A and B are shown apart, each in its own frame.
Chain A
Amino acid sequence: AQTVTQSQPEMSVQEAETVTLSCTYDTSESDYYLFWYKQPPSRQMILVIRQEAYKQQNATENRFSVNFQKAAKSFSLKISDSQLGDAAMYFCAYRSTGLVTFGTGTRLQVTL
């Protein structure tokens, strides 16, 4: 079974600084998708960024970028120029032909 591990229950970053959230996964599949979702206190889950495993180029969405290391099964999220609105729970998720599997989440705090 696929597993997704987020080893950082909580992270803190100062406004305008950069923070990296870690995610590792375990799979025997070669074709899959990886995602980072943001869940603010209102609890509506929002897709932040996604990466197709067959693409070597790391995905980027404005201030959000990933470091995808397929051999190491690592998928970290980098948030640049952090803003107060980035404060939320961040979930890493894996999707193949089977189930969608989420990690346990990292709570990101943004301080002034």
Chain B
Amino acid sequence: EAGVAQSPRYKIIEKRQSVAFWCNPISGHATLYWYQQILGQGPKLLIQFQNNGVVDDSQLPKDRFSAERLKGVDSTLKIQPAKLEDSAVYLCASSPPLRSYNEQFFGPGTRLTVL
């Protein structure tokens, strides 16, 4: 079974630029999550999708961050414009149907550096 795929793996941009991350969850997984993990901290949930609908985005800085999950499969997370404090690893995770509360499978993450 293929795991959660993310791209790019690394990205370096200057502040005020825009950036987008892509996630392809495990086939058949209805729930998709985006996390931000700042160095030395635990992951912080940014947004959770159930199919193509948003379940929770209460911790997403909506003035600069946006996310979508078209057709309930792939997802993109965008930052526009980026700030220095956005430097972090962005993790995508997915959960199988009926088990979204007790199992998440994580991708390798995208390491973003904002200069």
CA distance A37 to B45 in the complex (A): 15
- Given the interface pairs A98-B56, A99-B59, A100-B33, the reply to whether A45 lies near B43 with Cβ below 8 Å is yes
Shortest Cβ gap from A100 to chain B (Å): 5
8 A Cβ contacts from A21-80 to B: 33, 37, 42-47, 50, 52
CB < 8 Å A-B pair total: 47
B interface size (C-beta, 8 A): 23
The SS class assigned to the B binding surface is: loop
Shortest Cβ gap from A46 to chain B (Å): 7
CA distance A4 to B103 in the complex (A): 18
Q: Is the CB of B42 within 8 A of A102?
A: yes
The reply on B89 being an interface residue by CB < 8 A is yes
A interface size (C-beta, 8 A): 22
A-B contact pairs, 28 of them (CB 8 A): A4-B42, A42-B108, A43-B89, A43-B108, A43-B109, A44-B106, A44-B107, A44-B108, A44-B109, A45-B91, A45-B106, A46-B106, A47-B103, A47-B104, A52-B102, A91-B42, A91-B43, A95-B102, A99-B56, A99-B59, A100-B33, A100-B45, A102-B43, A102-B44, A103-B42, A104-B40, A104-B42, A105-B41
Residues of B within 8 A of A (CB): 3, 33, 40-45, 56, 58-59, 89, 91, 93, 101-109
